[in-house]
């Protein structure tokens, strides 16, 4: 019973079934190394039911490994974009990521759609402090600190962030 063992480990309880059904459903989890939206557990089949928004279907998936997905708030550099993850300041009774206490936003497109494709980018991405908008503005977290004038020139508009800009330019 891999599912039961994984839930016991996550919940730190000898019999986690009832609590898992309350706290670990209708949320995003890492199932077999991939982000899935877990809608329910099939304890008798050692599987989870997960909802796929792209096909609008619920599918059963046999569990080999299971873990929570709780990314830190911040900006993540992903393959082709920057994604901002914000944890809402609500009382947290769930133990994994859900739309009720997290928001995500693609900082280049403005999209705030939360789905497995976006969250997989966050899982694989690297958390960063400095990022560049599509208009070539340079930001430190959410504060604009400068811009890219041309391919060889960065302009710092906030002297307090000059060192951050220098450090970022050396690593790009």
Q: Which residues have a Cβ under 8 Å from the Cβ of 91 and sit 6 or more positions away?
A: none
pLDDT category at 104 given cuts 50, 70, 90 is very high
Spatial contact of 28 and 97, defined as CB atoms under 8 Å apart? yes
Question: Is residue 158's pLDDT more than 70?
Answer: yes
**Pick from 15, 27, 107: which is nearest to 67 by CA?**
27
Give pLDDT, residue 146. Answer: 92
Distances (CA, A) of 163 to 106, 113, 140, 148: 26, 34, 11, 16
Extract the runs of DSSP E, i.e. beta strands, from the chain. 27-31, 34-42, 47-52, 57-62, 66-68, 74-77, 82-87, 102-106, 126-128, 130-132, 137-140, 143-150, 153-156
Mean pLDDT for the chain?
A: 88
Question: Is residue 92's pLDDT more than 70?
Answer: no
**Digit-coded pLDDT (tens) for 129-148:** 999 998 899 999 889 999 99
Q: String of b and e for 7-42 (b: at least 16 CB within 10 Å)?
A: bbebbeeeebeeebeebbbbbbbbbeeebbbbebbe
pLDDT category at 105 given cuts 50, 70, 90 is very high
**Digit-coded pLDDT (tens) for 60-88:** 999 999 999 989 889 999 888 899 999 88
CA 32 and chain centroid, separation? 17
Question: Is residue 91's pLDDT more than 70?
Answer: no
pLDDT category at 22 given cuts 50, 70, 90 is confident
Residue range 12-22: mean pLDDT, rounded: 87
pLDDT category at 32 given cuts 50, 70, 90 is very high
Spatial contact of 35 and 27, defined as CB atoms under 8 Å apart? no
Between 150 and 1, name the one with better pLDDT. Answer: 150
Distances (CA, A) of 3 to 48, 100, 116, 138: 8, 25, 21, 45
97 DSSP assignment? B
């Amino acid at each position: 019973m891999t599912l039961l063992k994984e839930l016991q480990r996550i919940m730190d309880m000898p019999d986690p079934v009832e609590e898992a059904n309350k706290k670990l459903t209708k949320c995003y989890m890492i199932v077999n190394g991939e982000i899935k939206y877990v809608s329910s557990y099939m304890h008798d089949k050692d599987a989870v039911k997960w909802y796929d928004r792209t096909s609008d279907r619920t599918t059963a998936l046999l569990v080999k490994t299971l873990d929570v997905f709780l990314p830190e708030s911040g900006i993540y550099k992903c393959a082709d974009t920057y994604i901002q993850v914000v944890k809402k300041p609500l009382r947290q009774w769930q133990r994994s990521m859900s739309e009720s206490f997290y928001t995500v936003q693609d900082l280049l497109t403005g999209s705030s759609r939360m789905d497995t494709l976006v969250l997989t980018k966050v899982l694989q991405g690297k958390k960063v402090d400095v990022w560049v908008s599509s208009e070539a503005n340079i930001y430190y977290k959410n504060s604009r600190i400068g811009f890219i004038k041309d391919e060889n020139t960065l302009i710092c508009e906030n002297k307090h962030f000059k060192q951050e800009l220098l450090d970022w330019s050396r690593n790009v």
